[in-house]
Structure 1
């Protein structure tokens, strides 16, 4: 284990001293730090562990701070069995300013909550001793820490006496197992044999033979037995004493002594055994008394039905005894109704609140339907103690609601795993479909055309032309007169009369222009056959029915009360 005041804690001491203000240590912090070496030195410059590693925070009551001396103060955290469950391997002290003042590492410890009958909880106490000059004055601690150190001497003494009395009730004034503490003489030497014995409920078990030397003969050998205080414990002690009569007594230290005779030496060769042992005809005690008594046989006058045994009446298969212990596994013991009831109660208690699915439409005995019904808090008190009003308060006073699992799937609580973090314990969660995509396609509509047009151009002309012909002559056909309309005045009658073409004058290189009239402002319409008023349909394949569900079978969910 490693513990130190942190560097921040040292700075806080100096600061508070300079400000003449008290240093108030207010909080214990418990954390589970992965990979922490409990014997490695504490990193005094480190701060608190991350919040995810802190498992518990304990506010220190004023009465849990005490001084040992002016330079030492101690703080105590007392965690009862109502706190848990968590593990820790790091403990820190924090002051009221939120400064980590001191830290300690320990081997991994468990803190468990008491949850009858399923789990036995534990109590944990952790003390932090802080030492620096003027610690008591600076921390304003005024309670003497000695008040915490309870003296359990009286308490333990009472426990010792109760145990002694219990043994006394079982073993009587004196009980010797076998030849334990029997006086014997071997090769002229007297000794007491090793073994186990109970004297006035005090257990003795010397491991080796104890040589003795009687002062004179004849002599009576006594055991002087006591529970003696040794340091912080009480232990069984005994000594051998001699005398004709020895009575119990209390010594000067107040310790009670018990004296029991074990032998009388009448002569060197005649030793009388005075131990309280079974008769020689009976087997000596060698183990637990219950086994010893069970093994004894014979006729006991005060035994009920002393003349009848199983063998006498030919009922050898009957058990030997009855028992209220539900844990026994002996075929020789008959369990009683009390034992069976206890087993049933233990089983029922451990199953209370359990939800199970049944393949019938009605709840079996000891179960209720998980249908959200309001049921009596008194009639089902054990179930109410576990569920409370988590699934509904009922009428608020005399009833409470059961969970309603009709028509829904049961899902494991996330409990910190992170797969379903927003789903609270025992709460309803509605239907949800995970985000995904679907394929789609458009149907064909057949061959068709779409309307088209041109824009209007306004009033305009369309020019036209002929190509240039070059220098040439124009000939004219022969005529019967010389009056050629539109002809050249150079035509002669002779030329016309000889029946040949007659050349005209050279016209020179020229073009023949063609003119076109204006069409006015107009547009040129383009006509395309219509495809009709229509749309292109898109088909998306259907995915399921009215709800989302896996393949399933419906059963009746019930809860154990």
Structure 2
């Protein structure tokens, strides 16, 4: 193609009243433009038709169509609410196969086409629609994207386009037991080895101690006095005309107690018994209605190719 052969490459209107001529079209330039346009029409598969004024338009449409199939089925993410011409929002909508033949052809070849009744658990797939004249788009609204495992040990067993519900990784929760009322627990002390137990008797107040033997009161005069009538057992063990003697004077004093050493042992302690009972545990609630990372809302669109006729037809 070439520009008009004027000094500035532009058409000049001229001025007949002033004797100034406009741009003169040369055959060379006219033939160049003609061939450029004619070849565009012919290369689109059309034959030149002197009766049609739309051949150039049809040629441009044909060229555009030849490029679109390479992108049919391609998914893009954009910050926009409405799709571009030739694109559709991935919202799970049901389409007529006759309206979007290129996209329907792609759906049959992509490996993610399921029966309509299975689509609920495979919302990332196309569905067969009514099984005759329609098919359904994937629905990516509000969903996070995860790359297909394709045999990997991570997220294994998933099919292409399958939907997966939210789930948290295994973890622990803090638990609080409720009150169970009065009850007992059996306790066992650890062995303490050989050891002594020392003790201290309670104070007994002012008192004396009596020796359980004595003599006749005429012969027996202990320093702290005697106890009882002269009818007690004597030192010889065979008479009963004796009194017993005190072993200490009156006074307030204490009694000290020393328990003998024992071998290695343990002490078992049992608290008072209680009725059979249970302890209920309440796990504290946390979180919201789903598990999610931080995120940004964005639109998902698919290249659908040419719409042959309107959906309502």
In the superposition, the TM-score normalised over structure 1's length comes to 0.27
Query: Which has a greater percent of strand?
Result: 1
In the superposition, the TM-score normalised over structure 2's length comes to 0.46
